[in-house]
Amino acid sequence: MQVGEERVYVIPLRDAKKAPRHKRATRATRMVRAFVKKHAKTKDVTLSKKLNEKVWERGIEHPPSRIRIKVKKEKVEEEEITTADLAD
């Protein structure tokens, strides 16, 4: 993924179900962040508020089993910024 590029991914989150009930949505959020870091080849990832709300929509015990996101990589003042947002 190059700077200025935008991609859509479907992330499987079913492994979050392996975590204890009271940690599932937190683990799903970490899984999204790790997926974006790996595929965008970056260190810093910002998750949008809409994406976070979608993961937490059904509470901490029932995160979605998969989620569709849009990843945007930009360069601003010598820094690369990677943003993950909910795909429409």
Taking only the tens of pLDDT, the chain with its 88 residues reads 777 889 999 999 999 999 999 999 999 999 999 999 999 998 889 999 999 999 999 999 999 999 999 999 888 777 888 888 998 7
Residues ≥6 apart with Cβ < 8 Å to 49? none
One of 3.30.750.24, 3.10.440.10, 3.40.1390.20, 3.20.20.140 is the CATH number of 6-86, namely 3.10.440.10
- Structural domain boundaries in the chain: 6-86
Half-sphere exposure of 34 (CA within 13 A, CB side): 9
Q: Among 40, 44, 49, which Cα is nearest to 85's?
A: 49
- What pLDDT does 1 receive? 79
Cβ contact 65:14 at 8 Å: yes
pTM score, two decimals?
A: 0.90
Query: What length is written for the chain?
Result: 88
Q: Among 81, 82, 32, 88, which Cα is nearest to 56's?
A: 32
